[in-house]
Amino acid sequence: MKLMSIGAAIAAGCIILTGVSAPVRVRAEEELAPSCKAAYLCDAESGVCVYEKEAEKRLPIASMCKIMTLLLSLEAADSGALSYDEQIAVSENAAGMGGSQVFLGADLTYGAEQLMKSIAVCSANDSCVAMAERIAGSEAAFVDCMNARAKELGAENTLFANCTGLPKETQYSCAKDVSLMLRELIKHKKYYEFSKIWLEDFVHPDGRTTQMTNTNKLIRHYKGCDGGKTGFTNEAGFCLAATAQRGDTRLISVVIGSDSSKARFHDVSQMLDHAFANYETKTVLAANTPLGEKYPVKGSRVAEIALCAARPLKCFVRRGNEGNCTLTINCRALVAPIAAGDVVGEATLFVDGVEAGKTELIAAEAAPEYTWWDAYQESAQNWN
């Protein structure tokens, strides 16, 4: 194992970020989100918190629970348990849901992708229940899956009672847990095909058309915002979880219990503005770029090979602050044969002593095994 300080890493030719430190959280009393009961602002990649206000307080979150409904739907498609073009029959139970909906027809069939899109764009309760019944057999069974997945994500202050967020005893979450769920949801590229839609017609198989308008107004009015979920009930107040990206920095901002729709959009925007102005994401170790130092190989005519990172290591840092950044290179003994792309070790980034990222190290070039023919040629050259 090799521990590389900033200076040593630079000398070795690694692409290293100098002068970084772990972000310092904004105190809640500075009131980036004055109108809400709870708030949370973090880096989407690392989860590093920038601002929090009553972030772990258990509160109703209304339709923001559909973040989990969408996550399980996309995961079902990824696993092959569901296909996007599959036709789903809608039950009377699903078609009869109140609140925001696209007015699904009972006993009609709709494409799974079409239903997911309506959940993401216009928060359709009927589509949520239709998807829940298809994936788990019933909404109750699907809710069990939601709660199990929440535990897997580390959402310790979350309990779902339905898949829509409509008022029901007992259900709750918190601003921090909502950020965890949204961080997981946005890992699915397919989600962005839905979340960025502003206005679209939902065409029913019987010829009817329902116009869908995105409930997340920041999609249209905040630079870089391309996803999120709104929520409102009298019990929960006005809620919003949103994600936005500028350059290499992607953020997640959550508010629960704002006193008006305008206030929730204002507070989320103000939090995002603060983070984009004061923080940045820098590449510490670039992917597929050879480290400056080569590593020896045994049993090959190639004496040494270069290594590179399988994926980039990035660091979310406060602008202008200096701190302590170290990179640990752990490479196994290299013995031929080695093919380009073989995993031969790992690199771990630490910021102020805290692990901030890890990536596999792969061989940037091949080192074939030393053969009898190589030995013969070498002997012939020495003889001459």
Predicted confidence at residue 324, as pLDDT, reads 66
Considering the domain architecture, whether residues 182 and 291 belong to the same structural domain is answered as: no
Residue 211 clears pLDDT 80, i.e. is over it: yes
> What is the chain's mean pLDDT, rounded?
90
Is 277 inside any structural domain?
no
Considering the domain architecture, whether residues 108 and 227 belong to the same structural domain is answered as: yes
Is 94 inside any structural domain?
yes
3-class SS at 30? helix
Angstrom distance (rounded) from CA 144 to CA 133: 12
Q: What pTM, to 2 d.p., does this model score?
A: 0.85
For residue 340, which phi and psi values (nearest 5 degrees)? -60, 130
Token code pair at residue 299 = 């049993």
Residue 15 clears pLDDT 60, i.e. is over it: no
Q: Which of 35, 123, 127, 300 is catalytic?
A: 123
- CATH number at 162 reads 3.40.710.10
Q: Which domain holds residue 353?
A: 2-20+283-372
Angstrom distance (rounded) from CA 143 to CA 70: 12
Considering the domain architecture, whether residues 14 and 66 belong to the same structural domain is answered as: no
> Which uninterrupted H or E stretch holds 326?
strand 325-331
Residue range 189-197: average pLDDT?
98
Predicted confidence at residue 26, as pLDDT, reads 61
Predicted confidence at residue 10, as pLDDT, reads 35
Helix axes 66-79, 125-136, angle to 10 degrees: 40
In the residue annotation, 117 being an active-site residue is answered as: no
More confident residue, 327 or 342: 342
Q: Which of 37, 53, 66, 217 is catalytic?
A: 66
Residue 19 clears pLDDT 50, i.e. is over it: no
In the residue annotation, 123 being an active-site residue is answered as: yes
Residue range 213-242: average pLDDT?
97
Percent of the chain with pLDDT over 90: 78
Considering the domain architecture, whether residues 8 and 64 belong to the same structural domain is answered as: no
Q: Which residues contact 191 (CB under 8 A, 6 or more apart)?
A: 70, 74, 120, 185, 227
Grade residue 174 by pLDDT with cuts at 50, 70 and 90.
Answer: very high
Q: Any idea how long the chain is?
A: 384
63-92 pLDDT, tens digit per residue, is 999 999 999 999 999 999 999 999 999 999
Angstrom distance (rounded) from CA 17 to CA 13: 12
Query: Which residue is listed with tokens 């070039």?
Result: 365
Nearest Cα neighbor of 115 from 186, 204, 189, 240 is 204
- CATH number at 355 reads 2.60.410.10
146-168 pLDDT, tens digit per residue, is 999 999 999 999 999 999 999 99
Domains of the chain: total: 2
More confident residue, 328 or 244: 244
Predicted confidence at residue 379, as pLDDT, reads 61
Grade residue 14 by pLDDT with cuts at 50, 70 and 90.
Answer: very low
Q: Which of 35, 37, 53, 63 is catalytic?
A: 63
Considering the domain architecture, whether residues 180 and 215 belong to the same structural domain is answered as: yes
38-69 pLDDT, tens digit per residue, is 999 999 998 989 999 999 999 999 999 999 99
Residue that finishes a domain, picked among 259, 275, 304: 259
Considering the domain architecture, whether residues 168 and 231 belong to the same structural domain is answered as: yes
